């Protein structure tokens, strides 16, 4: 494609009258369609990939979910795996981020409608003034982290698989981890390295940094001290720390004697590494070092709660976000203390943020329940497994109890839709909430009995 063709396409895109959420959704759909076509090419697979498999894999990669219906490492060739890695990178860092940087490099002007679209892709609710700086920051952080991750993992994979194969394994899993995709090239995940310190430190470090959000990482780099950090960064760091401890300790206590998970590990050190790994993975990435299908129901419920919370805004993670949970808790505390305002770290949080949080949580719960209801009609599997798969899909996590590969075409379609809404839907909700106009008519106050 020549530069003038790109300019012509961009001019046509600028003339579209679609609202930014609709245009953003269209871009993700186009990426999924192109990815599906590439994965259907004979050079992409080993002969056992159908149309439905290609669409599901492409959707999972673009939405950085990680749920799979085929073994990625054996069913797809090196070219197919490279396509999946590119789709993960595009979906994780944001399609508009790459588009804007390409347009800037070509000297093509970017109008206000496209700035608004980029704002939604980066999950920003108000300003468009610093979006280009944020886009460059996102790419720089991603490249730096993925290079470091690749180098670290190469010390594990190169000795076992050889130089080039080990380098590719390291690069692929580094990309998948930083973008919180959770797609792995091994049929049992990373179970073979359940006690390996490099894997247990590098992979979680990548998806924790990716899940914090680029604004938080940039804020930490600029301020380098706790006090001057923004309220958002402080809420993210404190909330992430609490959830990591809660998830790791909770997983270890619940699964310590389970013969299908931690109980099958011979050394205490391996159990502790696995507890740490699986305690932090559900919120963002979807990697596993133990058999997820063998979890107790109580542990599955714990992990579903962590999956629903997810990571941070402007991050590669899904879920309702850590700051959303923080605002919900602060609002609940303020209600019981009869306070009119929310306060945290010497800053106040407005009522608009509370309303946005309530709307986002309500919509998320409705989508999850609807998806569970529809899948339960067409698929006669274990109910806990269905709930787990749907929650994992909507939160774009990718952990699975093995039920996704057993779904029929209708069930797959519901999971794809849940992944798509989980990746794009919250951004669209944020747009509509942020641009709503104040009502012109005010009504007298009424009384509603609650509780």
> Hey, is 199 helix, strand or coil?
helix
Is residue 448 one of the residues assigned to a domain?
no
Range of the structural domain that residue 54 is part of? 3-434
Q: Is residue 445 domain-resident?
A: no
Give CA–CA dist 198/153, Å, rounded. Answer: 7
In a domain, residue 314? The reply is yes
In sign, the C-alpha dihedral spanning 99, 103, 108, 111 is positive
d(CA 105, CA 280): 38
Is residue 355 domain-resident?
A: yes
Cα radius of gyration rounded to whole Å, the chain = 22
Q: 442 in a domain, yes or no?
A: no
Q: Is the pLDDT of residue 123 over 60?
A: no
CA distance 81 to 172: 8
Contact yes or no for 242/279 (Cβ under 8 A): no
Hey, is 267 helix, strand or coil? coil
> Would you state the pLDDT for residue 94?
65
**Rounded distance, CA 200 to CA 185, Å?**
17
Q: pLDDT class for 128, splitting at 50, 70, 90?
A: very low
CA nearest to 182, candidates 417, 425, 400: 400
Residue at token pair 């719960």: 365
Residue 441 lies in a domain: no
411: number of Cβ within 10 Å: 23
CA separation for the pair 101, 417 (Å, rounded): 29
Counted domains in the chain: 1
> Per-residue pLDDT for 234 more than 80?
yes
13 or 267, which is more confident? Answer: 267
The pTM is what? 0.84
Q: Identify the bridge partners of residue 347 per DSSP, sorted by sequence position.
A: 344
Q: Which pair of structure tokens corresponds to residue 150?
A: 């690749």
pLDDT band at 319 (very low <50, low <70, confident <90, very high): confident
pLDDT at 317: 75
Does residue 444 fall inside a structural domain?
no
Residue 254 contacts residue 345 (beta carbons within 8 Å): no
Of 168-177, 214-223, 341-350, the range with the highest mean pLDDT is 168-177
> What's phi and psi for 68, nearest 5 deg?
-135, 155
Distance separating alpha carbons of residues 345 and 431, to the nearest angstrom: 27
Strand partners, 247: none
Token pair for 242 = 């609490």
pLDDT in tens, 12-28: 555 555 555 666 677 78
Pick from 215, 430, 236, 206: nearest CA to 322: 236
For residue range 213-225, list pLDDT tens digits in order. Answer: 777 877 787 788 8
CA distances from 187 to 71, 77, 183, 235, 403 (A): 6, 15, 10, 37, 15
* Residue 440: inside a domain: no
Of 100-104, 133-137, 292-296, minimum mean pLDDT range: 100-104
- For residue 342, the surrounding DSSP H or E stretch is strand 342-344
157 and 151 Cβ atoms separated by less than 8 Å: no
Instruction: Give me the mean pLDDT over the 95-100 stretch.
Output: 52
Q: For residue 408, give the nearest of 62, 166, 69, 3 by alpha carbon.
A: 69
């Amino acid at each position: 494609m020549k530069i003038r063709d790109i300019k012509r396409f961009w001019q046509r895109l600028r003339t579209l009258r679609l609202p930014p959420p609709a245009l953003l959704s269209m871009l993700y759909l186009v990426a999924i369609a192109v990815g599906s076509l590439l994965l259907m090419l004979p050079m992409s697979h080993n002969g056992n990939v159908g149309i439905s498999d290609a669409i599901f894999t492409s959707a999972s990669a673009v939405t950085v979910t990680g749920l799979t219906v085929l073994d990625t490492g054996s069913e797809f060739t090196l070219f197919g795996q490279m396509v999946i890695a590119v789709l993960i990178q595009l979906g994780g860092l944001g399609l508009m981020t790459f588009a804007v940087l390409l347009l800037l490099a070509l000297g093509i002007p970017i109008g206000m409608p496209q700035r608004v679209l980029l704002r939604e892709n980066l999950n920003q609710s108000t300003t468009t003034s610093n979006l280009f700086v944020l886009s460059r920051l996102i790419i720089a952080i991603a490249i730096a982290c993925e290079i470091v991750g690749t180098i670290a993992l190469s010390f594990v994979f190169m000795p076992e698989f050889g130089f080039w194969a080990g380098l590719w394994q390291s690069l692929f899993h580094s990309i998948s981890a930083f973008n919180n995709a959770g797609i792995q090239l091994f049929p049992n995940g990373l179970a073979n390295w359940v006690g390996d310190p490099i894997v247990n430190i590098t992979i979680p470090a990548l998806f924790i940094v990716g899940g914090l959000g680029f604004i938080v990482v940039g804020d930490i780099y600029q301020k380098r001290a706790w006090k001057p950090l923004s309220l958002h960064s402080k809420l993210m760091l404190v909330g992430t720390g609490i959830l990591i401890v809660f998830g790791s300790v909770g997983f270890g206590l619940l699964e310590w004697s389970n013969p299908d998970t931690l109980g099958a590990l011979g050394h205490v050190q391996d159990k502790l590494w696995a507890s740490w790994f699986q305690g932090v993975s559900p919120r963002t990435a979807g990697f596993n070092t133990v058999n997820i299908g063998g979890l107790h129901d109580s542990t599955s419920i714990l992990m579903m709660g962590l999956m629903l919370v997810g990571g941070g805004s402007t991050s590669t993670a899904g879920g309702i976000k850590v700051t959303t949970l923080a605002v919900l808790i602060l609002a609940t505390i303020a209600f019981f203390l009869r306070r009119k305002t929310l306060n945290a770290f010497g800053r106040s949080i407005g009522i608009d943020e509370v309303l946005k949080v309530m709307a986002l949580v309500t919509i998320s719960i409705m989508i999850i329940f609807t998806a569970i209801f529809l899948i339960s009609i067409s698929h006669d599997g274990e109910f806990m497994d269905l709930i787990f798969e749907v929650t994992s899909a909507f939160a774009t996590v990718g952990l699975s109890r093995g039920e996704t590969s057993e779904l029929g075409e209708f069930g797959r379609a519901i999971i794809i839709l849940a992944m798509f809404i989980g990746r794009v839907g919250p951004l669209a909700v944020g747009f509509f909430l942020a641009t709503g106009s104040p009502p012109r008519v005010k009504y007298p106050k009424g009384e509603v009995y609650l509780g």
